[in-house]
Each structure stands twice: as C-alpha cells, then as structure tokens.
Structure 1
C-alpha cells in the first residue's frame, strides 16, 4: 500500500513538473510571437509579483554573428533607465543633509547655471532631476563645457525660451551634470560611488564602467536599417573609453560614464533594483533610500508629463494601470521598467534590437511584451501555472 502511494505521489509530481515545463514554454512562445512581429534580435524580461521575482526569461540572440542565445543574466546597456540610479544616489545625499533639492544648481556644479532670458530665476537640483530646468541638448551632452559660459561661446543655446520650473523638456545634459555634482560632493568617481552605495548593497552584477564588468556577458546591441532590412551591430554602446578614464577629472569628465544612460545590467538584477523602488527604498532587508525619499522620486514635478525625479508616472503602458518607472532607447536597444507600488507588481523588458514602432507614445515591442506578461502571469496566473522564480 505504501509502495503504491509513493508511486502515485511520484507520478503526480512528474505530471506537475510537466505542466510547469509546458507553462514555461508557453510564456516564451508568447514572447517569441511578439518579437517576431518586430523582427527582434532578442528579448529579455523579468516579472515581479507581490514584491518578488516570479519569472525571468529570454528569447532570441545575444550575438547575431555567433548565434549565441540570449539569457536573462546577460548585461545590457539600459539607456535612460540609468537616470534613476543617478537620482537615487543624489537623494541619499539629500537624506544626509549634504544638499537640498532646492539648492542652486550652479553652486553645486561650480559654474553659473542660469537661463539668460530669466537670469534672476534660480535653477534648482529638483528642476534638473525632473527635466523642468529649461535646459536642452542643442549643444550636445557629452561635454559639460557646452553650457559653461567660460568655456563655450554658444552656451546660451543650451537654454529654452521659458522660465525654469514652468515647463518640461527631456534633456540628457541634465543628468550628466547631475552625475558631476555627485562627484564634487563625494570626492569619488561616479561609477565607483554608484557601485558602493547602490549596486553592492543590493548584490547586483552591474555598473557604468565597462572594464569593471565581465564583457562576455554583454548582449550585443543592433540597430535596424529599414532601407536595407538589416541589423547592424553598434559596438560603440560598450566603448570602454579607456583613454578618457586614464585622464579623468572628478566633477568634469563625468559624461564619460554617461550618468544619463550608461548603466549595464541584466533584466534579473534590474528587477531587483525595481523592487527596491517598488518597496519605497528597501530590498532583501537592505534599505537604500528612506521611504520619504523614494516617494519624492515617484511624485510628479512635471504634472502634465508625469515626470518626478528620474521616475515617471504613466497610465497608458499596461491598460489603465497607474505605473511608475522609466524607458530607455539607445543604439537600437529599447528598455522599459514599470511597477505599481500599490499592487506590488512590476515588469522589466529589454530588446537588443527591433523594428521601432510606437503605440500611444510608447515603444510598441516593450509595451506589447509587458502587457502579455501582465495578462499571463499577474492578472490570470491560474491559466498558466508557473514555478516561482522560473526561467
């Protein structure tokens, strides 16, 4: 009798494992179908439910030349989602009383930051981090000289013709300058400070410095040429900038690491970082930010656009859900990281190359994959039984 019972238990277990395997395949199959619509090179994803990662996965290729498959542990340059790491680090200094969000940014950066048309209006750190500074990227953003009156004759072109704090315009220069301020305040190189204060405490395999990472883990990035119907590799995405780093000047050379878009991280580790913000500053027993600081980052400054401090509120990404997060786009890569602090779920999606189409202002492929994952794993999980943490 006991032997028969054990056999039934074993059979039941095998059946269950079979269903789980099928379920895993169904998720990837669904992602593959969407990816095929956009000719995606590869797509990696991570799903968080009730504050925990329940699923990670990847389809397609890490490298088209070698046909090496993409994995959820591969590292991507995630583009503008990187901005939230910069803002998180600065909020840590706000907590310590080192700075205020309403400080004059010119005092922090070490040269005048004033819109010439509104010279009496102080441009604050809060304005910089929320893209309401009236600063633009007309002169570029990889060199701080472009906006420094003592370095550039064209510095005035870096400002828009409206009063700081009154309107929103997305601007990469804002965050490369913010990274320089971090260095001036801490006396530490930007990439090293982020690693010490955010990445290491969360046990994340990530960073801004290419030479500090295992380059074998990098997912190559490809840009689609619609005329040739061809994907071209963009190796510049992982340029180590070794010469610039060897001559590095704190508070000035900072754009070398691109605080505005240079973070390299996997979808799995980005999901862990996302959970920290979802939990208002805490992950796996480690508190990175105080609850008040995390909420400040998620609170709209630019009301119309929904932008807070390097995090944005959206209502058009997953149906009518109010979500917080950010997207990224560079070199042909498209990334998205959105979460709901109220419902404790979040989804990260990254493609290392795809045909670019938009859906109501959002990149279509990351939005469609996110909605599929939400419908399959969060809203209707009973239809697709999954092993927690499965790949």
Structure 2
C-alpha cells in the first residue's frame, strides 16, 4: 500500500508492527487506516483480508458498510436544506415526516428536527427501525412504545429510528430519492465513490463483514450487510420507504474517501476548494446538544479520552461485525479513520464507548505519525 508522506521509515515500520500485534490479539479480519496531518493525508494502509474465504487481501479501494458514521451524511444533507431555506432545525418534526411524531406522555411538547438529529427526541428503537410503520400511529397500535418516559429535549438516547426518519425528511423536502440526493449533493461534489444503493456500486470492492463468536473466537460472514433489497426498491414510496437504504447506517465507502469526507468537516464544510455546507452549519453539527457520548451534536460527537489531552470530534460505527471510527481535531487539523471488517469487539477498562481495536489503532497511529 502507498505511504504518501511519513515522518520516518522507522516510525512507519514501528506503527505497522504494532498494528499487526493489535490484529493478532483481537482476532481482526482486516483493517484499513488513514492518517491526516496538517490537513493532508500522510498515510494510508490496509492489513489482513477483504475476504477470508477466498484469501483476498484487503485493498485501499475496498468499500465498507460504515454503520453509524453514515448518520453524518444525512445530517450534512439536512444542513444543506436548512441553508436553502427549505427547513429549520426548530421545525415540528411531525410536519416534516408526514405523520404525528409526539411522545404520548407529553402530547403538548413539540419534537423538533434538531431533537431528532441529536437523539434528544425521547424516541427509542424498542419496536425496530427498519420501517417507519413502528412509530406511525396510523400504522401501529404499539407506536407509544417508541417513546421514553422523559420529555422530548430532556434526555439523550441513541436511536437509529431517528435517522431513518431523517432520511425520509430529506426525500420529502428535496424531491430526490435519498441515495441519489447524497450522491449528487455530497459524494459527487467531493469526488468520492460510494453510496447507499448496493446495486449502484461495484460489488467486487465490498469488504466482507464478519461477526465474531467470543467462545470459538471465529469470524462468520454477515452477507446481510450488503443485501441489495432490489425488489423493495422497485416498489419504493418516496418519503416513506427510505429505511430500505438505511440512512442510519448504510453508507458504503472506502477508508480513504471517508477521510476526505472527514476533512470537509474538519475544515468546517469545505474540502479541496469545494463547499458542501457553510461554516455556521458545520459548527452547528459539531456543537454538543447533550452530554451523551462525550457531547453529542448533530451526528457528530466529542471524545476527550480517545487520545489523551485532545478534544476529538467525529463518530463511530458498529454493525454486522464491522467497527469504524472517524475522528478529527479541527484546530490542529489532524484526523484518523480506522475501519475493521470483523474483530473481537472487546472494550478497554473505562473506554466503553469505543472498542479496543479502534482505540488501540487510533492511538498507535497518533503516536507514530502525528505526535
């Protein structure tokens, strides 16, 4: 793999030896990493396998379903629509999504777009999040179970249903299908290859995702990660079928292209001369709304203990055995992307929000290439 610019050959070798030890200790299938320093990608590398069964070595152009980091693409799109005057973060979410979204325990409290984006909506995933019927009072008798006992705005609970509804709002507001909106307004302007529609991507580039059995220490393929859902898409209802694409977790992209996207947020909405959102919008996404997960903003969260002494901003993802992390320091202009397609998902003592593979690898890369 290409090392674009490293501080020294010995540091590179030391980092790679440490990473191989991490992979061995934590049964990692494959690992893709990118380091950004002084606002430039200085190091990219891949380790292990893209597909274990066929002995296919992981390559830099491999596409991963990155799980919850995907939410930030939806939030970025919402901020574009806010800037266009089509939405306001204070809008009543019921009016945006097309059915009543009210916590029945607090019927007079409006649930706003900002509450949904910041996981302070009082909505939960207890009834599932793969379709919107679960929370639609016209479709489900159990819709009330989707709400917690506290008032909207008064607490935090991470909720995937929030962002599958956000995807539907993007469609209703823009008039474009969710996956096509993201491609046309975020990915293409930045020159990135990826997306939410499996049938629109080169399947040979997908990194097989592996779920881990802690008893046998075996990795088992999770083919549902790239289920195309072609028939469901053929019978698609705009503004309602959106969870088919999983706005909450379904982005497929390489680590290198994810790092370029990260640099856009690190530079407050711009990358390589292309403006995706305004500085004001970028800062809004990075400003904590609650204390959840190190300080949760709008699909971006803080972390003050990931790298000692550094206030990092970013997001993690975990699904189908994959673990992903995208964190940056906007003032010092450095950032790190780490993605594994399968590993022991163990956590270090006191670090129960980001697993051991991600923590150890991020700190290895920071120590060897940035510090």
Which TM-score band (shorter chain)? Answer: over 0.9
Q: Which moved more, 1:357-366 or 1:45-54?
A: 357-366
| Whole-Å separation in 2 of the counterparts to 1:276 and 1:194 | 15
| Whole-Å separation in 2 of the counterparts to 1:289 and 1:238 | 29
| Whole-Å separation in 2 of the counterparts to 1:48 and 1:208 | 25
Q: Does 1:103 align with 2:91?
A: yes
- The answer on whether the counterparts of 1:335 and 1:350 sit within 8 Å (CA) in structure 2 is yes
Q: Counterpart of 1:371?
A: 363
Provide the secondary structure at the position in 1 that maps to 2:105.
Answer: helix
Q: Counterpart of 2:301?
A: 312
Q: Which moved more, 1:315-324 or 1:118-127?
A: 315-324
Cα separation, partners in 2 of 1:259 and 1:304, compared to 1, 3 Å: closer
- The answer on whether the counterparts of 2:27 and 2:217 sit within 8 Å (CA) in structure 1 is no
Q: Which moved more, 1:231-240 or 1:66-75?
A: 66-75
Q: Counterpart of 1:217?
A: 205
Choose the corresponding residue for 1:174, options 162, 165, 168: 162
Provide the secondary structure at the position in 2 that maps to 1:349.
Answer: strand
* Distance apart, 1:203 and its partner CA: 0.4
Q: Counterpart of 1:336?
A: 325
Q: Does 1:153 align with 2:141?
A: yes
* Distance apart, 1:29 and its partner CA: 2.2
Q: Does 1:46 align with 2:34?
A: yes
* Distance apart, 1:226 and its partner CA: 1.6
Cα separation, partners in 2 of 1:39 and 1:267, compared to 1, 3 Å: same
Structure 1 segment 317-328 matched on structure 2, within 5 A: 317-328=306-317
* Distance apart, 1:25 and its partner CA: 3.8
Structure 1 segment 107-256 matched on structure 2, within 5 A: 107-256=95-244
| Whole-Å separation in 2 of the counterparts to 1:72 and 1:159 | 42
* Distance apart, 1:23 and its partner CA: 5.1
Q: Does 1:74 align with 2:62?
A: yes
Deviations 1:198-243 (A, max 9, x none): 0000000110011111111111000111222211000110001101
Structure 1 segment 52-71 matched on structure 2, within 5 A: 52-71=40-59
Structure 1 segment 24-43 matched on structure 2, within 5 A: 24-43=12-31
* Distance apart, 1:358 and its partner CA: 1.1
Instruction: Name structure 1 gaps, 5 residues minimum.
Output: 1-16, 380-391
| Whole-Å separation in 2 of the counterparts to 1:164 and 1:112 | 14
Deviations 1:334-375 (A, max 9, x none): 000000001100000001010111121221101100000000
Choose the corresponding residue for 1:293, options 273, 277, 281: 281
* Distance apart, 1:153 and its partner CA: 0.2
- The answer on whether the counterparts of 1:176 and 1:260 sit within 8 Å (CA) in structure 2 is yes
- The answer on whether the counterparts of 1:205 and 1:269 sit within 8 Å (CA) in structure 2 is yes
- The answer on whether the counterparts of 1:28 and 1:58 sit within 8 Å (CA) in structure 2 is no
* Distance apart, 1:26 and its partner CA: 3.5
* Distance apart, 1:304 and its partner CA: 4.9
* Distance apart, 1:97 and its partner CA: 0.9
Choose the corresponding residue for 1:355, options 296, 321, 344: 344
Provide the secondary structure at the position in 1 that maps to 2:59.
Answer: coil
Cα separation, partners in 2 of 1:304 and 1:66, compared to 1, 3 Å: closer
- The answer on whether the counterparts of 1:307 and 1:313 sit within 8 Å (CA) in structure 2 is yes
* Distance apart, 1:295 and its partner CA: 0.2
* Distance apart, 1:378 and its partner CA: 0.2
- Give the number of the structure whose alpha-carbon radius of gyration is greater: 1
Provide the secondary structure at the position in 2 that maps to 1:276.
Answer: helix
- The answer on whether the counterparts of 1:94 and 1:101 sit within 8 Å (CA) in structure 2 is yes
Aligned length: 362
| Whole-Å separation in 1 of the counterparts to 2:309 and 2:210 | 32
Q: Which moved more, 1:208-217 or 1:301-310?
A: 301-310
* Distance apart, 1:35 and its partner CA: 1.1
- The answer on whether the counterparts of 1:75 and 1:265 sit within 8 Å (CA) in structure 2 is yes
* Distance apart, 1:313 and its partner CA: 0.9
| Whole-Å separation in 2 of the counterparts to 1:158 and 1:213 | 34
Q: Give the TM-score normalised by the residue count of structure 2.
A: 0.96
